[in-house]
Structure 1
Amino acid sequence: MSHPKFIHYTFTGADASKFLQGQVTLHVERLTENSTQYTAICDLKGRVHFGLWLTKHNAEQFDIVVVEDQKEDFSSHIKKYAAFAKAALVEVGEVFPHVHENNTIFLSATSDIQLWQEHVIEHGQAWISQATEHLFQPQELRLHQRNGVHYDKGCYLGQEIIARLWFKAQPKQWLHLVKSTQEIPNAGNKIEGNIQIVNMIQTKNNEYIALIIAKPTTLEETSFLEVIELPSPLNEDVARAK
């Protein structure tokens, strides 16, 4: 089983904050400095194209980390949209995920990727790779419950559809944590009842754990998956309170 690799970029310049505000789903101006937050860049259909870990040092200096298999498309995307912005994306190199106060940070020191995957899956911290891009709405991934989406910010890619789903509708399916003694397929694959895998890992005790997108009623009818309660606030209702 292969493990993900991660690429670190710097994004700097006078327009860095303004540009990112028009791209990512969170409110960049409110982002706490020197803390790492997972967020997304969506396509025009409101589905997550790129997942990224964003660290703001100040309004003109950011660190961005993406899964390696998205790096070429991500770099092309940023350079295309930022062609006339006073900001530059520079690739730094490979970094490694570490758990810090239940969140992911990235360092140059190597880490146990297996243990990192187990931890973030168990805590509902889904991430997007090439296999899962363009598949899920941020709300389905519970990204708003991780402070990765803010519904009161200005325009960004896919914002109109994302806001409409939040204020005028509710998702039919969303993120769940499951485990099984049977093998669970890799990310992006579907299993019975239209259940779609976001992330999965085989643990060292030969169980499989996974983050999936599914309707709750479908999970009630599934025999080989055991649903595990996610940590708060990810076990709360995914829809907007009326």
Structure 2
Amino acid sequence: MPSRTTRPITLSGPDAAAFINAQLSSDVLSLGPGRWQWSGWLDPKGRVRALLQVARVADDRFVIVPRGGDGAVLANDLKRFVFRSKVTITLGDTRFVSDGDARDDMQAHEDEHGTLILGEGNASIYIGARDDNDAWLARHVEKGFAWLPDEALDTLLPPALSMEQLNAVSFNKGCFPGQEIAARLHFLGGHKRHLRTVRSDVALASGQALRINGRDAGIVLMHNEMVKTPMSLVVLDDSVVQADTLETEGARLHILSTFAA
């Protein structure tokens, strides 16, 4: 089964770190060479435009891996904010996401073929030409590492993707787009949608709306169909989760885990 694809975005130049730090939600300035971190690009209302993995492959060179969405659109939108910053933004070719061997957690390495390797401790993912191993998908569903379908873009707030638990949002680094809304949710709470893993009695589809009693109650982000009992990563309204088993229109869901905001 072919792996998912993405189009990495490379930012280089003496102002690359400061520029990315001002745009993304994570503390990019704390990222050392040879390391990667989770991050996001939010709109002014705090909604997640893109969920990202950001690797610092050299002092003045970063590679951003969009987890869903259109890399070309993201790259062009980032260029609008360059102004006088000394940073070059380059959109890469379409690359496959494949499973890799054990690498130190949060270690980033770019090999001689241009493949970006992102360590996860007991495993890794490869962003490159390989399209031969989708085993990472099951692991990311279980860990709550979301990949956003088009239907989820610009609709979810950071707590719904457990972004704080991933250290993808920092409130100590200065301003970034959507910070006011994200900070309000962080300090005052009140967000009632959470990321969850579920098993279903039928196959679900990424981007599928989960409906209960005629209204949308959530969305499927990722679906692992390589197991006998389908397992998915979803976002659900807390108000509809009354028990471990949930009846939606067309599917019965058994909730396995809920991720903190």
- TM exceeds 0.5? yes
Q: Among the aligned pairs, what percent are the same residue?
A: 24
User: 1:205 and 2:227 equivalent?
Assistant: yes
Counterpart-to-counterpart distance in 1, 2:59 and 2:130: 29
How many equivalent pairs are there? Answer: 233
Q: Deviations over 1:69-127 (max 9, x none)?
A: 41121011111111432101112323333354257543424144532222211111112
Compute the displacement of 1:178 (Å): 0.6
Judging changes above 3 Å, is the alpha-carbon distance between structure 1 residues 61 and 141 closer, same or farther for their aligned structure 2 residues?
same
- 1:189 counterpart (209, 213, 216): 209
Equivalent in the alignment of 2:134: 114
Compute the displacement of 1:33 (Å): 2.7
Equivalent in the alignment of 2:189: 169
Q: SS at the partner of 1:22?
A: helix
Equivalent in the alignment of 2:94: 94
Q: Deviations over 1:177-219 (max 9, x none)?
A: 1111223233252332633224222423343221111233412
Equivalent in the alignment of 1:57: 57
User: Unmatched 5+ residue regions in structure 1?
Assistant: none
- Mean CA deviation greater in 58-67 or 18-27: 58-67
Counterpart-to-counterpart distance in 2, 1:114 and 1:108: 13
Equivalent in the alignment of 1:11: 11
CA RMSD of aligned residues (A): 2.4
Counterpart-to-counterpart distance in 2, 1:183 and 1:68: 20
Q: SS at the partner of 1:82?
A: coil
Counterpart-to-counterpart distance in 2, 1:47 and 1:89: 23
Equivalent in the alignment of 1:226: 254
Counterpart-to-counterpart distance in 2, 1:2 and 1:181: 25
The residue correspondences of 1:25-174 to structure 2 (distance < 5 A) are 25-67=25-67, 69-97=69-97, 98-99=99-100, 100=119, 101=121, 105-112=125-132, 114-174=134-194
- Mean CA deviation greater in 62-71 or 119-128: 62-71
Compute the displacement of 1:19 (Å): 0.7
Counterpart-to-counterpart distance in 1, 2:68 and 2:145: 18
User: Unmatched 5+ residue regions in structure 2?
Assistant: 101-118
Matched to 1:133, the amino acid is L
Counterpart-to-counterpart distance in 1, 2:134 and 2:238: 28
Q: SS at the partner of 1:134?
A: coil
Matched to 2:184, the amino acid is R
- Mean CA deviation greater in 188-197 or 88-97: 188-197
- Mean CA deviation greater in 30-39 or 79-88: 30-39
CA contact (8 A) 1:198 1:210 kept: yes
Judging changes above 3 Å, is the alpha-carbon distance between structure 1 residues 104 and 143 closer, same or farther for their aligned structure 2 residues?
farther
Question: Which structure: greater strand fraction?
Answer: 2
CA contact (8 A) 1:36 1:53 kept: yes
